[in-house]
A and B are shown apart, each in its own frame.
Chain A
Amino acid sequence: MSMALDTPRASLRLPSLDKAAVWIVLVVLLLLAGLASDAFFKINYLTNLVRQAAPVGITAVGVTFVMLLRGVDLSVGAIVSMSAVVCALVMDGKAENLWLGIAAASACGAAIGLANGLLIAHGKVSAFILTLGMSIVVYGLVQMGTGGTARGIVSPGFREVLNSRVGGVLPVLVIFLLVAMAIGIFLQSRTRFGRSVYLIGANPDAARLAGLPVNRVTVIAYVVSGFFAGLGGLALLARTGVSGTNPGAGMEFDVLAAVVLGGTTFAGGRGSVGATFAGVMVLFIALNLANVAGLPYAAQLTIKGLIIIAASAAHSWIGWRVSARTQQ
């Protein structure tokens, strides 16, 4: 028998399994990693790990919103590539173009997101197919823009600043990631947009009946996803420099894996940006462990795929258990 509202015992309840799952996995993995290698808990190693995760992590913030809405965004890998390439081209090695390059890259991401959102909300196109198609379109545009060779030069100072460590310890890229996460968490829990995303994702029919602007929120969610992918592209550019015309290739799958690991599954309305952060870390620690164990890249790819499958199966199993328990 449940209690009347707001009794003191309410605050003693543990978070439910579906919310805690990814954090439990993260702790277990951290312990495993600590056992596997003495170097793991060294501050440099840890910060380096988070630094590596920054491009995927920043991109995953935006994708979390889309997936909370029962959507998906497979175009983020291409947007990351586009953002990196556009940024380097606009900067053109000149210091005065620094901010222009950053703005252009973010704007490109948001613009692709806007196109995605408008077509999905008003064209009633399947998000899966549309963003897959959009990713091919964007790759094509990038190839056309660069003529197929790595071009463009970043502004002096861009890579140096982003790759430095504050006080010699905390990498600037890690701060970049944490700020992106913080913005995501704020959007998610303190704004009308964030609340509407949860409501619409949880039950679109009820949301419509409650008078929520379903189409507008959908468009904004894809813009947010594109924008964060644009930022992810900047982070990648800072890490790897001008390294090709397609540096973000395949990154959509890392992002998808991280978001699903965090518990933001395709069911909508469940999950959070915080859990996505945990998912990102689980993914990168797992890949790092595979690396330490000497597994080749191909095997790591297989592990990534298995993680996506296992995580979504586990979450739907947990969700099923939870709903079975609450059914009358």
Chain B
Amino acid sequence: MPLLQTHALTRRFPGVLALDHVDFAAEAGEVHAVCGANGAGKSTLMNLLSGTITPTSGTISVNGETVSFVSPADARDAGIAIVYQEFSSIPELTVADNIFLGREFCGRFGAIDRRAASRAAADLLGRYGISLRPDALVGSLGVADRQLVEFARALATDARILILDEPTAVLSISEQAKLFGVIRTLRERGLLVLYISHRLEEVFEIADRVSVMRDGALVATREKSALTSSELVRLMTGRDVAANTAPALLVEGRRTALKLEGISENGVPLELREGEILGLAGLVGAGRTSIAHRIAGLRPRDGFSAALFGAALPDDPARVLAAGVVYMTEDRKRDGIFAPLAVTSNATAASLDRFALGSFLRLRRERAQAGEVLRGLRLVAASLDTPIGSLSGGNQQKVLFARALLARPKVLICDEPTRGADVGAKEEIYAVLRRLAAEGVAIILISSELNEVLALSHRIAVVRHGRITAVMDNAGLDEHALLVAATGAGSKNAAA
């Protein structure tokens, strides 16, 4: 009998079927990888298993017993623990303190018995082969060790099932090896480890079996030995070599708009021409956004230099913007929208110079121009005075596009421009990007959706570990080739 099983597990969000009748089974003593593209339903499945959300229908059973989780505490009681990508440990406390956070060993009068906690922590760490000192301050530890503290916290709840959500996203190769050692010990101890990852090379290294999800459904569960990396990619994308809509050819005689030196692995400078759309392909955590931030002056350039039409690009965000390089954030909520403010104010935030006479705003002119651009983008909103926070994700993105357009970009860096947009809004955003390119704007497109990168880009640069490892003309490329390049599966699995 499988340790963990789901029957027709379904979860519906408003307008989205996030998980569709999933029958999943995994055994004790295995490392079971769950793969899938963004939005395939991995996170929904894990959130259901860990009690963060409740199913719309279907059941979960542990050890043959049907369980129902109303809260994460219920899942913990059933022996399921989850380790998220973000650290939740407290740096100012010791390893032992963190492991038993919220479940402190209390002596008489409710005083915390630190010696008992330390002993219990040492015992726990030893049992799973984790080499950490219980009295070390978590803040003094490296990233991998902090990750292990998260493991230990989860294990301290007597978990039999440990869910790891992209545990290596922030780790270097050697740190990763350390982590894998611990995961193997867990497997030997009879735990079930559910391993979620985008990185195929890791999946092939650590997993015993692989389940692939796509569009909310479980499409296959295979033994690793019966799976090749190209087959896995095919299962994930659901497509054989898809016919690629060839993008318009670059017009000859366009000048080089942006030149980046010191960013490619082979030392060749990356040149972006006027009217060109360059896709940045890579996995989550590969460093695409970090490259964008470094161009935009949001973080130090660190050993690479940028030039705009031959002149060195300043390194202060406001001056980069003034020079005509506009960065559109991937995280609308964090540093994109001004939620309580009107659509108009949001649209003109980066171009107030043009709507002011000295210190005074020219409101009528602002309203007219913002309205014109927003209508061109087919914004759906009650009025120009509606707070942007009340719009849908796709419409918020259109307003951010309007902000970028009103700033009259020479180079536009779009980071996940269609995140949260529905199909219709996506098509409209694609049309805007194509039109801008036709008008001569150089565009860097970052997207986790490979089909998007393929449909829009003239060239595609592959990013791994914060550097560009290859630049390919987008002719005859498909998702498979791109995913292989992005994961490095090609080099790794030739031997497997």
B356 and A192 contact, CB distance less than 8 A: yes
CB of B439 closer than 8 Å to a CB of A: no
Q: How far is the CA of A143 from the CA of B384 in the complex (A)?
A: 53
Q: A3's contact among B337, B341, B380, B403, by CB below 8 Å, is which?
A: B380
CB of B317 closer than 8 Å to a CB of A: yes
A193 and B359 contact, CB distance less than 8 A: yes
Q: How far is the CA of A278 from the CA of B427 in the complex (A)?
A: 47
B341 and A202 contact, CB distance less than 8 A: yes
Q: A206's contact among B338, B359, B389, by CB below 8 Å, is which?
A: B338
A:1-38 near B, CB below 8 Å: 2-7, 9-11, 13, 16
B:373-395 near A, CB below 8 Å: 374-375, 378-385, 387, 389-393
CB of A302 closer than 8 Å to a CB of B: no
CB of A195 closer than 8 Å to a CB of B: yes
Chain A nearest CB from B311 CB (Å) reads 18
A206 and B352 contact, CB distance less than 8 A: no
Chain B nearest CB from A46 CB (Å) reads 33
In the complex, which range does the number of interface residues on chain A fall in? Answer: 35 or more
Q: Which of A208-216, A235-243, A286-294 contacts B (4 or more CB under 8 A)?
A: A208-216
A190 and B392 contact, CB distance less than 8 A: no
Chain B nearest CB from A267 CB (Å) reads 8
On chain A, the residues within 8 Å of B345 by CB distance are 195, 198-199
B359 and A203 contact, CB distance less than 8 A: no
B383 and A6 contact, CB distance less than 8 A: yes
Closest to B14 in A: A328
On chain A, the residues within 8 Å of B389 by CB distance are 323, 326
CB of B453 closer than 8 Å to a CB of A: no
Q: How far is the CA of A6 from the CA of B375 in the complex (A)?
A: 9
CB of A205 closer than 8 Å to a CB of B: yes
CB of B90 closer than 8 Å to a CB of A: no
> Which of A4, A7, A211, A270 counts the most B-chain CB atoms under 10 A from its CB?
A211
> Which of B14, B329, B360 counts the most A-chain CB atoms under 10 A from its CB?
B360
B337 and A203 contact, CB distance less than 8 A: yes
CB of B247 closer than 8 Å to a CB of A: no
Q: How far is the CA of A326 from the CA of B349 in the complex (A)?
A: 22
Q: How far is the CA of A212 from the CA of B335 in the complex (A)?
A: 13
Chain B nearest CB from A23 CB (Å) reads 18
Given contacts A3-B382, A206-B337, A209-B329, is CB(A190)–CB(B363) below 8 Å? Answer: yes
B338 and A203 contact, CB distance less than 8 A: yes
CB of A175 closer than 8 Å to a CB of B: no
A270 and B318 contact, CB distance less than 8 A: no
Q: A209's contact among B298, B384, B392, by CB below 8 Å, is which?
A: B298
Given contacts A191-B359, A199-B341, is CB(A206)–CB(B380) below 8 Å? Answer: no
A190 and B361 contact, CB distance less than 8 A: yes
Chain A nearest CB from B237 CB (Å) reads 27
Chain B nearest CB from A229 CB (Å) reads 22
B361 and A207 contact, CB distance less than 8 A: no
B341 and A198 contact, CB distance less than 8 A: yes
B392 and A328 contact, CB distance less than 8 A: yes
On chain A, the residues within 8 Å of B391 by CB distance are 2
Q: How far is the CA of A203 from the CA of B339 in the complex (A)?
A: 8
Q: Can you list, as one digit per residue, whether each of A306-328 has a CB less than 8 Å from chain B (1) or not (0)?
A: 00000000000000000101101
CB of B108 closer than 8 Å to a CB of A: no
CB of B350 closer than 8 Å to a CB of A: yes
A196 and B352 contact, CB distance less than 8 A: yes
On chain A, the residues within 8 Å of B420 by CB distance are 328
CB of A232 closer than 8 Å to a CB of B: no
A10 and B317 contact, CB distance less than 8 A: no
CB of B217 closer than 8 Å to a CB of A: no
On chain B, the residues within 8 Å of A189 by CB distance are 361, 363
A192 and B352 contact, CB distance less than 8 A: yes
Chain B nearest CB from A68 CB (Å) reads 10
B341 and A5 contact, CB distance less than 8 A: no
Chain B nearest CB from A217 CB (Å) reads 11
A192 and B379 contact, CB distance less than 8 A: no
On chain B, the residues within 8 Å of A207 by CB distance are 338, 349
A2 and B380 contact, CB distance less than 8 A: yes
On chain A, the residues within 8 Å of B371 by CB distance are 5-6
CB of B336 closer than 8 Å to a CB of A: yes
A208 and B335 contact, CB distance less than 8 A: yes
Chain A nearest CB from B299 CB (Å) reads 12
Closest to A271 in B: B340
B360 and A210 contact, CB distance less than 8 A: no
Q: B335's contact among A195, A198, A209, A213, by CB below 8 Å, is which?
A: A209
Q: Can you list, as one digit per residue, whether each of B230-245 has a CB less than 8 Å from chain A (1) or not (0)?
A: 0000000000000000
Q: How far is the CA of A325 from the CA of B389 in the complex (A)?
A: 10
CB of A101 closer than 8 Å to a CB of B: no
Q: How far is the CA of A189 from the CA of B345 in the complex (A)?
A: 11
Chain B nearest CB from A19 CB (Å) reads 10
On chain B, the residues within 8 Å of A196 by CB distance are 352
Q: How far is the CA of A269 from the CA of B387 in the complex (A)?
A: 11
Q: How far is the CA of A198 from the CA of B348 in the complex (A)?
A: 13
On chain B, the residues within 8 Å of A212 by CB distance are 318, 349, 352
Q: How far is the CA of A39 from the CA of B392 in the complex (A)?
A: 52
Given contacts A198-B341, A199-B349, A203-B335, is CB(A209)–CB(B356) below 8 Å? Answer: no
Closest to A202 in B: B338
Q: A5's contact among B14, B327, B374, B392, by CB below 8 Å, is which?
A: B374
Q: Can you list, as one digit per residue, whether each of A37-70 has a CB less than 8 Å from chain B (1) or not (0)?
A: 0000000000000000000000000000000000
Closest to A192 in B: B356
Q: A192's contact among B14, B341, B360, B384, by CB below 8 Å, is which?
A: B360
On chain B, the residues within 8 Å of A326 by CB distance are 387, 389-390
On chain A, the residues within 8 Å of B321 by CB distance are 210-211
Q: How far is the CA of A67 from the CA of B325 in the complex (A)?
A: 32
B:309-347 near A, CB below 8 Å: 317-318, 321-322, 327, 329, 334-341, 345
On chain B, the residues within 8 Å of A206 by CB distance are 329, 334-338, 349
Q: How far is the CA of A73 from the CA of B132 in the complex (A)?
A: 47
Chain B nearest CB from A202 CB (Å) reads 4
> Which of B296, B359, B363, B384 counts the most A-chain CB atoms under 10 A from its CB?
B359
Chain B nearest CB from A216 CB (Å) reads 11
Q: For the A-B complex with A192-B359, A206-B338, A211-B350 known, give 17 more contacts whose Cβ atoms are closer than 8 Å.
A: A3-B380, A5-B375, A5-B379, A5-B381, A5-B384, A6-B375, A11-B383, A191-B360, A191-B361, A198-B338, A199-B341, A202-B339, A202-B341, A209-B317, A209-B327, A325-B390, A326-B390
Question: Could you jot down 7 A-B contacts, CB within 8 Å?
Answer: A2-B382, A5-B374, A6-B375, A192-B356, A202-B340, A207-B338, A210-B321
CB-based closest 4 A-B pairs: A10-B383, A205-B335, A202-B338, A211-B318
B residues adjacent to A (C-beta < 8 A): 14, 296, 298, 317-318, 321-322, 327, 329, 334-341, 345, 349-350, 352, 356, 359-361, 363, 371, 374-375, 378-385, 387, 389-393, 403, 420
